Amino acid sequence: MIGGLYLITDQNRDDRLSERVAAALKGGARVVQYRDKDLPIETKVAAARDLAALCRQAGATFIVNDSPEVAHQSGADGVHLGQNDASVAEARRLLGPAGVIGVSTRTVEQALKAASQGADYVGVGSIYPTGSKQDTLLVGLETLRKVRRAVTIPVVAIGGIDRDRASEAIEAGADAVAVISAVMNDPGPALAAREIALLFNRRGPWPRGKVLTVAGSDPGGGAGIQADLKTITLLGTYGMGAITALTAQNTRGVRGIHPVPNDFVADQIEAVLDDLGADILKTGMLYSAGIVSVVARAIARHALPAVVDPVMIAKGGAPLLQREAVDALRRELLPHTYLLTPNLPEAEALSGLPVETENEMEKAARRLQKMGARNVLLKGGHLQGKPVDLLLAGESLHRFPSERFDTPNTHGTGCAYSAAIAAFLVQGVPLVEAVGKAKIFISEAIRTAFSMGSGHGPVNHWQAAQALKLQAASCKL
């Protein structure tokens, strides 16, 4: 079956092709198409055999571009044909009835013809401008929609697709999106692949996606792993948890912390990931350098996007991250972080820069990105005046202003905010949109917070989730 992330190899000939493809497969690529038009056939066959073995190991489909002969000799699952290549019938005779045959198309008529001739899927493109072909004819999303309505076989959107454009192609009806440079040229191909592969979760059943939160326990339920799991579940995702520390706390403050041994934190994480698996790992209170190291290794081993909330200080002022753990977080966890979500004091501690204004927030975000975080969301609740959050997504900067609410009941705000982002991401919502939805969620949770205890009460997770459901229902009307 052709679906999900469809990786096309580039023609940048180096000795890391297999390594990059293996990383992309680990990140969630479901189809790999080997493309190199200029090499001798013997060299192509040898390279294709190596890639075919990687795909078999990962349970992915392996396709050879243009040449049924190379596909046949290398043991590929199939071939992808252009309009001027061999016919579907010729490829079928060589590859047999089980061979997977795809055809590039630019019009509804070409797609219908390919389907009638026995193609197993059609590629449609180029959807967007691309640098991989000089003679590209743009067909756009509307042609993609028309082809999707016209044929019953899978449709692959091809051309110029990256993280920010993939969701549009999926919404237009693509069963798979083909990418080249967005994954192959990325310094972290596993994470780049996972980021796009997650977008297909939007078609899954509810609860949609799985989040593993690694955090401390708050017996009052307003923050920590309890708040994470409430948020994740209320928003429609399956939540799992590994506890890093037990705390004795209430709305007035933290009375005591009992850290979980490093090895047992690792056992919890691996027990979940080796069996249930996860789409995203979200962190909260990690407490010690040893636990930070455990989490960093788990993220790297499983090629998981990590939403890292660098919890350092409790509302009442108690330290929740040991001093030596801050260095470990910078050194070991930031390079594996998909989204870092610090507030302003946390951003100062991690970046070493003053962060008191919106301009300083941007500078700190860019510094943290250079330190390894792929994307950075700086929460501006500590700003003087109207608060604004800044998201540095790749090279793009996005502002999320909000109202300031006059309430002491903000316990667990950061936990719920980052957990909401993680939940939306695993549901197939693109990053910028996921942050926007999570911002609405946390703003409503603060606005409707009610007093519990005699200190900083919790935010209202339930009411915020209900408000988002009502908003989604009204948008469908």
pLDDT for res 318: 66
**What predicted TM-score, i.e. pTM, was given to this entire model?**
0.94
Q: Let me know if 130 is a catalytic residue.
A: no
Secondary-structure percent of the chain, ordered helix, strand, coil, rounded to 5: 45, 20, 35
Total Cβ atoms within 10 A of residue 266: 19
Position 131 confidence tier, pLDDT thresholds 50, 70, 90: low
Q: Let me know if 415 is a catalytic residue.
A: yes
Residue owning tokens 């962060």: 355
pLDDT per residue as tens digits for the range 357-368: 999 999 999 999
pLDDT per residue as tens digits for the range 195-239: 999 999 999 999 999 999 999 999 999 999 999 999 999 999 999
Residue owning tokens 């996005």: 398
Domains in the chain (CATH in brackets) are 4-202 (3.20.20.70), 210-476 (3.40.1190.20)
Q: For residue 280, what are the β-bridge partners?
A: 211
pLDDT per residue as tens digits for the range 73-105: 999 999 999 999 999 999 999 999 999 999 999
* Catalytic residue chosen out of the listed positions 26, 379, 437, 439: 379
178: alpha, beta or left? (left if phi > 0; alpha if psi -120 to 50): beta
Round the average pLDDT of the chain to a whole number and report it.
Answer: 94
Position 476 confidence tier, pLDDT thresholds 50, 70, 90: low
180: alpha, beta or left? (left if phi > 0; alpha if psi -120 to 50): alpha
pLDDT per residue as tens digits for the range 345-354: 999 999 999 9
Q: Let me know if 379 is a catalytic residue.
A: yes
Q: Let me know if 75 is a catalytic residue.
A: no
pLDDT per residue as tens digits for the range 237-293: 999 999 999 999 998 989 999 999 999 999 999 999 999 999 999 999 999 999 999
Average pLDDT over residues 411-420: 96
Q: How far apart are CA 436 and CA 425, in angstroms?
A: 11
DSSP letter string, 254-283: EEEEEEPPHHHHHHHHHHHHTTT--SEEEE
pLDDT for res 26: 96
Q: How far apart are CA 180 and CA 110, in angstroms?
A: 24
Position 470 confidence tier, pLDDT thresholds 50, 70, 90: confident
| 5 within 8 A of 177, measured Cβ to Cβ | yes
Q: Let me know if 412 is a catalytic residue.
A: yes
Q: Let me know if 188 is a catalytic residue.
A: no
